[in-house]
Homo-oligomer: A and B are copies of this chain.
Amino acid sequence: MSNLAAPVLDPHADIVDLTAAIVDIDSVSGNERALADAVEQALREHAPHLQVLRDGDTVIARTDRGLARRVLLAGHLDTVPLAGNLPSERRTREGREELWGRGTVDMKGGVAVFLKLAVEADAAPTDLTWIFYDHEEVAAADNALTRIAAERPEHLEADFAILGEPTSAGVEGGCKGTMKLEVTARGVAAHSARDWVGDNAIHRLAPVLERLDAYQARRAVIDGLEFRECLNAVAISGGIAGNVIPDRASAIINYRFAPDTTVEQAEAHVREVLSGLDLEIEVTDAAGGALPGLDAEAARGFLAALGEDVPVAAKQGWTDVARFSALGTPAVNFGPGDPLLAHADDEHVPLEDLRTSLEALRRFLVPGA
């Protein structure tokens, strides 16, 4: 019988066992239903203080105790595709205990911590909204937060938001923005034995690469956190045939900009970097960053509860905190696992990270814990 039953999650289990149970429910983007069902069932069964809503494969649970402030905690249920790395496996390496498998870092450790605390935190100092959502690892338009923002925006309202993305159990405030631009050089095609009647478009990209290579990226310090900007060609292509001078060549440039910079300012900056060159420049993708907002009242309470041992840094990669920032809600990333291992074939989380994250967040949400 048990093999046929839907998986059940026990939020009272040890954090490592709970994380492994969540990891072992395969939930590659688009296939989140079984995990969403298990999360919904666990909350309905074990957290009577929460109002639980189901929206597609997103589960929203909230208190409405009429408190002065509301903190929102969100974690995505989906993972990138498997790499032969399920079911999860415990390993001990050089004396360190680890849990290996897809999602252990990004971000089922964070989901496990949130699920345990959603059940425990029935007397938190603020009202709480918990969001376990689908489709984060795919196009932004498919991200469940896009749908929630459009259809149930009241559930995204909060004074402070915590996203459970991996931060090695530290706090990573805000995030940088990201922009992609396609840069195209035009030339004149010719036979490669008679190049003087043509104009090589690939060669026209020389000053583009030169400027990118020489570029000194800005380091912006905001709320005491350093955001390091990055400007890179992430793709380049050109060429028609081995005996033809190509009349077109292009590069994709990715600009990661500090959150004190708007999308419009970011575009103007890239155009300035490339000024004077005969190029077509088109923005193909853009999303603003998120300011850390660590001086907000609710953020200060969170940091104080965590204590001085928890490191605080800037989040360099773009995350959904930017969505909250765009709504005017300060937001941080906080979760177990090394972000550099997210999406990696050898994705694994130290068990210590799971325990540390749980305890730190518990100090904030469960008074007297």
Contact = CB atoms under 8 A, between A and B. Distances in A.
Nearest to A228: B196
A230 interface: yes
A283 B254 CA distance: 32
A204 to B, nearest CB: 8
A249 B235 CA distance: 9
Given A242-B252, A285-B242, A317 B203 contact: no
A88 interface: no
A92 interface: no
A206 B202 contact: no
Nearest to A211: B206
A205 interface: yes
Contacts of A236: 202, 205, 236-239, 249
Contact of A246 (B192, B235, B242): B235
Contacts of A240: 234
A212 B245 CA distance: 13
Contacts of A241: 234
Given A228-B196, A254-B192, A210 B202 contact: no
Nearest to A343: B191
Interface in A44-101: none
A310 interface: no
Interface string A205-219: 111011011000100
A176 interface: yes
Contact of A232 (B195, B210, B256): B195
Contacts of A233: 200, 202-203, 238-239
A285 B241 CA distance: 14
A234 B203 contact: no
Nearest to A200: B232
A232 B317 contact: no
Interface string A154-175: 0000000000000000000000
A206 B239 CA distance: 17
A176 B243 CA distance: 13
A317 B234 contact: no
Contacts of A8: none
Given A194-B230, A197-B340, A232-B245, 8 more contacts: A192-B234, A202-B251, A203-B232, A203-B233, A236-B249, A239-B252, A242-B254, A243-B254
Interface of A: 176, 178, 180, 191-197, 200, 202-207, 209-210, 212-213, 217, 228, 230, 232-246, 249, 251-252, 254, 256, 285, 316-318, 340
20 contacts: A178-B192, A192-B232, A194-B228, A194-B317, A195-B256, A197-B340, A200-B212, A200-B213, A202-B235, A203-B209, A206-B210, A232-B245, A234-B240, A234-B242, A234-B244, A235-B239, A236-B238, A236-B239, A237-B237, A239-B252
Shortest beta-carbon contacts, A-B, top 6? A235-B239, A206-B209, A203-B213, A193-B317, A195-B230, A202-B233
